[in-house]
């Protein structure tokens, strides 16, 4: 017996009243396993995958990408039946009758739709450039006729991308010039910068980038921060020569023992949380008629992906040693880039740290992570000549930049806080312990 089950928007947090459908991972006619994600949702806190509560065939999508709907709203319908899968876990035979015809019609309708035909993701563009493929010639099987990586690979495997004289002169429409290389700044970047995963629709003139729900949320939060918080800014430089020597001494053994990289950020976080203990007002937020000083020190990390910046939280960071902080950093950064952050990972931050030096920055003026009171950036470590005891020496130097909420914090307290962070960083030496 066949039944149709509606999937609804769940309430992921007590204060959540709505969610936005970011993108669909399945299309009508696809078989969905039990607990398999069918779409990505975006709330005001985090984006999350919505798993299916049943196994069956997705027959209808009720809410399109970019639409915001209240909690409890049905967003799709899945057709199920008694024998959904065989013993090997494979889907049952395709349903017949009116419901089966509905699913088949949905697939045919989706295949006829070519509204997404001209939109190429950077991954598809890069793959097309590598194989010399004219993307306009590739049949698209994605939603709205969109071309996927599998489509390009299948096209290449079929031998349909043979170059000819007409295409040798200039790259055809829809093909990224394979000769265009991403230039490196020559600074200590750990990898070649990747292209943003954005959706671009082009014509003969301008290009248009759709504002995704995630980008819209970032824009709203940034606008709220700069409009409500009177920002002030200050900077201090730090001699991290001994820290560089210490990390170089320990990093190889650490990755063998723990399986994660020992980054400078772990040492910075330790220096920051110890300074917050001395100046707890830094760990506060504005509450109109009072200032709330938070008991727990929960550090928000600004982690950048190709198309967004998210701020997962290290809870009770003051209870962790350098090794523990390094493992937390690696875990949260990996979950961020894989899109596996949970709502809990994003909540409770009291102070934000951003490692802008990872992409070569030497000076930045960050926007405060609302409603926190301050954000600190750790800039690139560069060798500079400095004067020590009236003599010139070449030292590894870095800038620490602090944006502060001037309703709560003033220059004196922030100057002392930065000086304490500086002292903590410069106190690391070859005898310092990670555990």
Residues with a known catalytic role: 406, 410
Residue 172 corresponds to which tokens in the numbers above? Answer: 């055809």
DSSP 201-220: EE-SS-EEE---HHHHHHHH
8 A C-beta contact, residue 370 and residue 225: yes
8 A C-beta contact, residue 325 and residue 317: yes
* C-alpha separations of 381 from 235, 384, 402 in Å: 15, 9, 17
Percent helix / strand / coil, the chain, rounded to 5: 30, 25, 45
8 A C-beta contact, residue 276 and residue 293: no
Residue 91 corresponds to which tokens in the numbers above? Answer: 């889907």
- In this structure, the dihedral spanned by the alpha carbons of residues 57, 58, 60 and 65, taken in order and rounded to 10 degrees, is -170
List the one residue out of 49, 51, 37, 31 whose CA is nearest residue 107.
Answer: 31
Helix axis angle, 241-258 to 322-337, nearest 10°: 70
């Amino acid at each position: 017996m066949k039944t149709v089950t509606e999937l609804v928007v769940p309430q992921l947090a007590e204060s959540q009243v709505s969610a936005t459908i970011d993108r669909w991972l399945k299309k009508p006619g696809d078989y969905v396993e039990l607990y398999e994600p069918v779409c990505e949702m975006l709330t005001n806190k985090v984006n999350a995958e919505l798993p299916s509560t049943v196994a069956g065939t997705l027959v209808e999508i009720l809410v399109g990408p970019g639409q915001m709907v209240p909690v409890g709203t049905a967003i799709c319908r899945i057709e199920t039946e008694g024998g959904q899968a065989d013993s090997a876990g494979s889907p049952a035979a395709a349903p017949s009758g009116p419901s089966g015809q509905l699913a088949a019609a949905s697939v045919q309708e989706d295949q006829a739709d070519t509204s997404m035909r001209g939109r190429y993701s950077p991954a598809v563009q890069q793959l097309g450039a590598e194989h010399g493929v004219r993307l306009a010639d590739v049949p698209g099987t994605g939603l709205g006729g969109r071309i996927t990586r599998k489509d390009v690979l299948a096209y290449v495997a079929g031998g349909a991308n043979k170059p000819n004289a007409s295409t040798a002169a200039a790259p055809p429409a829809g093909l990224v010039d394979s000769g265009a290389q991403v230039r490196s700044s020559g600074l200590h970047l750990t990898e070649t910068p990747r292209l943003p995963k954005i959706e671009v629709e082009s014509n003969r003139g301008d290009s248009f980038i759709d504002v995704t729900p995630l980008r819209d949320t970032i824009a709203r939060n940034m606008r709220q921060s700069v409009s409500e918080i009177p920002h002030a800014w200050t900077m201090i430089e730090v001699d991290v020569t001994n820290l560089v020597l210490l990390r170089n001494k320990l990093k190889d053994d650490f990755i063998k023992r723990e399986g994660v990289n020992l980054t400078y950020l772990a040492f910075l976080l330790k220096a920051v949380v110890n300074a917050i203990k001395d100046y707890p007002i830094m760990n506060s937020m504005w509450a109109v008629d009072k200032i709330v000083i938070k008991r727990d020190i929960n550090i928000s990390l600004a982690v950048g992906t190709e198309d967004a910046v998210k701020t997962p939280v290290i809870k009770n960071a003051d209870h962790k040693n350098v090794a523990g902080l390094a493992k937390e950093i690696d875990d949260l950064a990996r979950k961020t880039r894989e899109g596996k952050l949970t709502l809990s990972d994003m909540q409770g931050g009291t102070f934000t740290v951003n490692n802008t030096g990872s992409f070569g920055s030497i000076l930045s003026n960050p926007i405060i992570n609302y409603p926190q009171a301050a954000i600190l950036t750790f800039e690139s470590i560069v060798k500079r000549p400095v004067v020590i005891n009236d003599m010139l020496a070449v030292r590894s130097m870095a800038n620490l930049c602090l944006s502060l909420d001037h309703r709560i914090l003033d220059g004196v307290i922030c100057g002392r806080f930065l000086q304490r962070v500086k002292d903590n960083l410069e106190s690391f030496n070859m005898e310092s312990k990670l555990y």
